[in-house]
Structure 1
């Protein structure tokens, strides 16, 4: 047929030939009826979904189903462009980190209000940190059942309610349940869901987006300690807790503004089509509902099994454990350690402000090196933990004020980079589908181990009488993680050399 493809009445010629023919037909009136608007429905004898990546090879026409086309369009128009999500996550993290940054105020207030010693007063504060670190234990399965945003809102409500209920606590047991368990678990759910949402919206610039989000923790250190101190002096400890909970209620309003990206929603809808077909074939509504519940639970269990079979989850668990011990212990003992070295109390307290600045630089700036392609992510992790271990090992040998400050600044810098890259690598190696469940597995492994932080510090400071040996152990653990990530980097490069697809050929080669 001249000027027309013979397959089902479609014009399968190249776009250049079509444009030339259109120009000719404008003067002659030939074949004008074949230039139909794209919104008109067309029927064709060609199969609607050809085994071609991207577009069918016949004249460049996209023969994929409308659902696949919509998913591809969403993938190309939304990923790495929704920076408002990172800004909202920054605001959420600023409020989420407030209780951790104000742990000293809370502990002193508990001792004075409840008239208890340091051991009992430390329980609610310690429980907050432990439950934050293993918040994915509940948020992963819940997000599989109710999606990400409702779980995020529920975590915000739980965190704020725990603080408000603590204002009415009659004893330390009540306070441990409300402030430690409820508030800590809510914060763990919030930070886990924020990391999942950031990973959904960003791929290439995932490091920068996570850095912006985690920068909220540093900003919180400059805002909430002064705010709580003012509230405590004005309204007392109980009144400050009540108003603090009211401030954290703003997390609920901000969390409602989040939305899952359209490509994730489409993927979830497509994955549930099989369940819907099963429901239509069921004999009754009750059987259909039961089938849906079983399918959801089976999906969670299947994802957990898949994550446990992934070797990288164990690398990520070890990395997270070493990070939590280094981060929590360093920032909780840096003032006491500096005073042991002869630094005055005023200068030792100023270390917290200085290290917060380098912590912010590590969270935001260093991950951009991987986003811009200067370093591979696994290579940056290996280099980061090597330098972290080096700085931690050097702390006991620092005798002057300035050398100790320089070593502390280095530790904070590389700890900031490590927390951002942990989230990035979780998404890279587990994928978005298993990311929430991956945090569940991470919390299950790390939760019990993180309860040993207090005895770990007490053994070195109280039994051995010095922090020096403790920092030697922490630095050695950093070197261990460095060696692990060097091996991961070598394995990744070896796999990349073995798997080199012919991208150009896959687009130019005709498909049959």
Structure 2
């Protein structure tokens, strides 16, 4: 049965939007947003350093980043629902095995292998591919709506994880989240499919001057990407937004508790980020269809830099919530701007390859930022130097977004 035939034609687009929302909710919630809540327990259980605990999330970002290029290549050759199903099963198995870990290195190893499938197979790469093949006229807006799944994960999973932590312990929490992940399997198998015949007629828009269309000819090479200013703007700008999120999700709850907040209140900081990011994703989704996408990216980076300064200046709970609100706006730029800017620069015909290449090139940034935060905390005993460093790095990416160059030939 072809994708979409399981639902009436008029509902196929909305169903794909709901599916993308749920895929991002499940890939982000248990893996990223719940982990920061469990991090203090992992330190206590295994006697691990903050840097070692942060290494698990770093491993996900690094491994999934390195795997993105081959997955982008595979996505042009095999059905998307095969890839997404691998993400569901790998994530569920990994979370269940983490519940039985007896040493911190086992947690890191599982995050670097099975759980990494969430980010590359169930997360933004495959979701972007799915949405881009179903929507054109409203692609930016739809990507913003789907990105709300990540914000919903930030709102609901931290307090849920804190509740499970108190009721079942962190091991029980991981088992519950493994079971929830499996519930997504039937929907992914039947609905995560490209439309037959290309973008549906109701989503196509007439060609206009300057519009990027699906390019003809052979796919772009790595050399072409590396010589492209657009490639580096996307890699450095979106990579910084993604790495900031990894660093914040690994450390924000611990930072709140270090400033005297209880576990549930500290977890609510992540929920605050998620609530603001919901508005930010809709705003950036609309902007993606209407303005120069580089300026949307720059606005997200500027908000991220300001938020890091506010985190560094915070001395108690109220300023932390202000910083979390500002950071949520920055996070809102990540998914809609990445997807729409990549399509604009490289076209839909080579979209999967371009997404995979940019995601793979972001790997060093995603590797460095969470480890930097953990290492600076272990060295200084405070998170404030880490927030200051992240602010400087966001401003550097903002400056580099003004790179311009001739699009190289293939």
* Contact map agreement 2:302 2:330 (CA 8 A) in 1: no
**Distance (whole Å) between structure 1 residues aligned to residue 166 and residue 177 of structure 2:** 13
2:197 is the alignment partner of 1:263: yes
Match of 2:113 among 181, 187, 199: 181
How far apart in 2 are the matches of 1:133 and 1:435?
Answer: 16
Q: Match for residue 246 of structure 2?
A: 328
Q: Report the equivalent of 1:85.
A: 16
Larger Rg: 1
1:381: which partner in 2? 297
Distance 1:135 1:97, change over 3 A: farther
Q: Is 1:478 aligned to 2:394, yes or no?
A: yes
Distance 2:103 2:268 in 1: 34
- The CA deviation string for residues 187-231 of structure 1, in whole angstroms up to 9 with x for no partner, is 322211111111222223222211222211222234444555565
Deviation for aligned residue 1:167 = 4.4
State how far apart, in whole Å, the 2-side matches of 1:245 and 1:299 are. 41
- 1:447 matched to 2:363: yes
Give the CA deviation at 1:89: 0.5
RMSD, matched Cα = 3.7
Q: Which residue of 2 aligns with 1:362?
A: 280
Counterparts in 2 of 1:170 and 1:343: CA distance versus 1, 3 Å: closer
Q: Secondary structure of the residue that 1:145 maps to in structure 2?
A: coil
Structure 1 position 447, deviation (Å): 2.0
Report the Cα distance in structure 1 between the residues aligned to 2:91 and 2:247, rounded to whole angstroms.
24
Give 1:164's match in structure 2, choosing from 86, 96, 120. 96
Structure with greater contact order relative to length (CA < 8 Å, sep ≥ 6): 2
**Is 1:150–2:150 an aligned residue pair?**
no
| Aligned match of 1:215 | 148
1:248 aligns with 2:181: yes
Contact 1:152 1:255 in 2 (8 A): yes
CA distance in 2, matches of 1:80, 1:422: 26
1:4-23 pair list within 5 angstroms: none
- Partner secondary structure for residue 146 of structure 1: coil
Corresponding position: 1:136 with 2:34:
no
CA contact (8 A) 1:304 1:437 kept: no
Are 1:104 and 2:26 an aligned pair? no
The CA distance in 1 between the partners of 2:17 and 2:55, in whole Å, is 33
Which string of whole-angstrom CA distances, capped at 9 and with x for unpartnered residues, describes residues 28-79 of structure 1? Answer: xxxxxxxxxxxxxxxxxxxxxxxxxxxxxxxxxxxxxxxxxxxxxxxxxx99
SS of residue in 2 equivalent to 1:261: coil
1:417 aligns with 2:333: yes
Given the two structures, how large is their TM-score scaled by the length of structure 2?
0.77
Q: Is the 8 A contact 2:88 2:185 kept in 1?
A: yes
Q: Distance in 1 between matches of 2:306 and 2:99?
A: 44
| Residue 194 in structure 1 maps to residue 194 in structure 2 | no
CA distance in 1, matches of 2:175, 2:311: 40
Q: Closer, same or farther in 2 for the Cα pair 1:396/1:200, shift >3 Å?
A: same
Measured after TM superposition, the shift of residue 416 of structure 1 is 1.7
> Taking structure 1 as reference, are residues 106 and 406 closer, same or farther at Cα in structure 2, changes over 3 Å only?
closer
**Structure 2 Cα separation of the partners of residues 321 and 164 of structure 1:** 29
Where structure 2 has 5 or more consecutive residues not aligned to the other structure, the ranges are 1-8, 201-216
By how many angstroms is 1:323 displaced?
1.4
SS in 2 for 1:262: coil
- Per-residue CA deviations over 1:335-374 (Å, capped at 9, x if unaligned) read 555677x665476554333222112111123321343x3x
Higher mean C-alpha displacement, 187-196 vs 239-248: 239-248
Question: How far 1:422 moved relative to its partner?
Answer: 1.6
Deviations 1:246-289 (A, max 9, x none): 321123212121220223499xxxxxxxxxxxxxxxxxxxxxxx
State whether residues 151 and 274 of structure 2, in contact with CA within 8 Å, keep that contact through their aligned partners in structure 1. yes
Change (3 A) 1:334 1:173: closer
Name the CA shift for 1:441/1:87 in 2 (closer, same or farther; >3 Å). same
C-alpha offsets along residues 9-40 of structure 1, whole Å, 9 cap, x if unaligned?
xxxxxxxxxxxxxxxxxxxxxxxxxxxxxxxx
The TM-score, its normalising length taken from structure 1, stands at: 0.63
1:117 aligned partner: 48
